[in-house]
Structure 1
Amino acid sequence: MAGGRRTFTPANQQRLTNVSVVRMKKGGARFELACYKNKVVEWRTGVEQDLDEVLQMHSVYVNVSKGQTAATEDLEKAFGTSDLDKIILEILRKGELQVGEKERSAQTETMAKEIATIVSQKCINPQTKRPYPVTMIEKSMADLHFSINTNKSVKQQALEVIKQLQEKQLIPIARAQMKLKLVFPGKEAKKLKEKALPFIASIEDEDFLGDITEIICLVDPGQYTALVDLVSAETKGRGQVEVQTVTNIADGDENL
């Protein structure tokens, strides 16, 4: 249009809106990624694995809000490589997710509830053999002054809460035992049972069906993988370890 004025965006500038920024300082410089809201945490916890669903642009910026992309020589100097995929993955893993105060508060509150829920599901009061209500776990987390880290998964933080509660003994708490059914075939069942006993907290029932031995037992979660490996190796894959329930409950309660 005659007499009209054109505006130009420099080649290293890309304007983005409605974006979450992941920022990392390295080699004395600042680098940023432009991501879709909520997708960074999902990627870090393994819920989202497609980078195209996480990144708004497959670029590294020095300033996302101004749309300024990083120069190749600056990336090479800071990261020791010009491989953009490797650089992006490092920033995604180690960078700090930038969120507004209101958004951060809502995210922290949601994560705290999720952490307390996991602890409630995974643990019991060893005196009553019953799980704690989520609200009681939330109160205990507050008493611990547990700080929610939005860059870590809720599962990791739930395990840390359990560890701190056990160490500081604010409430009596223990990991809920798993109820398993072990199936041992053949004449070696008795010998295999003896090898399995160190991994078993208690045996609730034992049946002999022909040449098959079935054992219902309680196992601490930390022993589960080792027990599965033992049964698989000793029976060459013919034995079975079946999970009946994941939570040890008192008589009269429904199975969880």
Structure 2
Amino acid sequence: EKNIDEVLQTHTVFSNVSKGQVAKKDELSAAFGTEDQLEICKIILEKGDLQVSDKERQAQTDQTYKEVSQLIAEMVVNPDTKRPIPTSVIDKALHELHFSLKPNRNAKQQALEAIPKLREAIRLERAKMRIRIAMPSHEAKITHSRLKALFSELELEDWAEGGLEMVSLANIAVFSWTTSAK
């Protein structure tokens, strides 16, 4: 953000904001080499450390935990019913496994790390995606064997009308890898 007024509530520098103690000019001059509060605010924003309260940290952790549970729920299914597993079941299993979040990793990375651990507590498997591919026969001759290797359950393979149409269930992880390899 370029506009400092959008970032700060006030241009006043405090020695203790929770007690409402405004910093004295001699303290500011000694610490920052200037008494200009706007300039000091800019220095603090550029070089200072953000202090997060326990409540804010806990709220952020809770939010990330919910995000991890939601991502897992989107990635896995019950192997018997092929239905999604409720986030409440995933939350409970994560807590029983004492799964702890790592603050330096994003929710998706942590969700992917948690899935193998969750298998210890609940029956689950990665969700599969139904994919339909249609291509002209000259391209199909080149890519057919590669595509077939990626698909776990081929539902349709039709060499009609000068081309190939394939419909299959594929592991999402395999499909993600193929799209990112471009």
TM-score, scaled to structure 2:
0.69
Report deviation, 1:121: 0.5
Cα separation, 1, equivalents of 2:110 and 2:46: 30
Q: Is the 8 A contact 1:202 1:217 kept in 2?
A: yes
Q: Which residue of 2 aligns with 1:89?
A: none
- Residues 98 and 162 (structure 1), Cα distance of their counterparts in 2 relative to 1, 3 Å cut: farther
Which of 210-219 and 149-158 deviates more? 149-158
**Is 1:132 aligned with 2:85?**
yes
Cα separation, 1, equivalents of 2:180 and 2:161: 25
Q: Which residue of 1 aligns with 2:149?
A: 198
- Residues 141 and 98 (structure 1), Cα distance of their counterparts in 2 relative to 1, 3 Å cut: farther
Report deviation, 1:56: 6.2
Cα separation, 2, equivalents of 1:229 and 1:113: 27
Which of 178, 185, 191 aligns to 2:136? It is 185
Q: Is the 8 A contact 1:201 1:219 kept in 2?
A: yes
SS of residue matched to 1:57: helix
Q: Which residue of 2 aligns with 1:165?
A: 118
Q: Which residue of 1 aligns with 2:7?
A: none
Which of 45, 58, 76 aligns to 1:57? It is 45
Which of 108, 124, 143 aligns to 2:96? It is 143
Q: Which residue of 2 aligns with 1:94?
A: none
What's the CA shift string for 1:112-170, capped at 9, x where partnerless?
Answer: 1111000001111112111100111100111111112333211111111112113xx21
SS of residue matched to 1:129: coil
Report deviation, 1:216: 0.9
Report deviation, 1:228: 5.0
Cα separation, 1, equivalents of 2:76 and 2:44: 40
Report deviation, 1:106: 1.6
**Is 1:108 aligned with 2:76?**
no
Question: Normalized per residue, which structure has more helix?
Answer: 2
Gaps of at least 5 residues in structure 2 are: 1-23, 36-40
- Residues 114 and 226 (structure 1), Cα distance of their counterparts in 2 relative to 1, 3 Å cut: closer
Q: Which residue of 2 aligns with 1:10?
A: 29
Count of aligned pairs = 152
Q: Is the 8 A contact 1:107 1:150 kept in 2?
A: no
Cα separation, 2, equivalents of 1:161 and 1:228: 23
Cα separation, 1, equivalents of 2:131 and 2:62: 35
Cα separation, 1, equivalents of 2:143 and 2:149: 11
Q: Which amino acid aligns with 1:212?
A: G
TM-score, scaled to structure 1:
0.51
